Amino acid sequence: MRPQRLGADELTSGLLQIPSWSRSRDIISRAIVYPSFLTAIEAVNRIATVAEEADHHPDIDIRWRTVHLSLTTHDVGGLTELDLDLAGQIDAITDELGGSPTSEA
């Protein structure tokens, strides 16, 4: 069963747990710089694996060492727990691989 859209209070609380992500309406996004191109590709492969396991897939754009990610739950027209959970998993992968935030999100 797909999750429900998050209410305003749930969303505000959830976003506090993922401070590297920025929200624009019904999308959260983040840009991450990795130490090398190959590390960026490794990150994308690991993100793809956890996304596939969750059956929830981000929009991904790779530009050399920078990976741009956007999350939303299209079939409910907004943000859900799936987005917050996947963002947290992406943050963990980023920390493990030495990625750093960028203001390009």
Domains of the chain: 25-101 (3.30.1360.20)
Cβ proximity of 75 and 2 under 8 Å: yes
Mean pLDDT of 2-7: 88
Query: Quick check: 19 pLDDT over 70?
Result: yes
Extract the runs of DSSP E, i.e. beta strands, from the chain. Answer: 22-24, 27-33, 59-63, 66-71, 100-101
20-42 tens-digit pLDDT: 999 999 999 999 999 999 999 99
Give residue 6's identity as a one-letter amino acid code: L
Cβ proximity of 77 and 23 under 8 Å: no
Query: Quick check: 3 pLDDT over 80?
Result: yes
pTM assigned to the model: 0.93
37-77 tens-digit pLDDT: 999 999 999 999 999 999 999 999 999 999 999 999 998 99
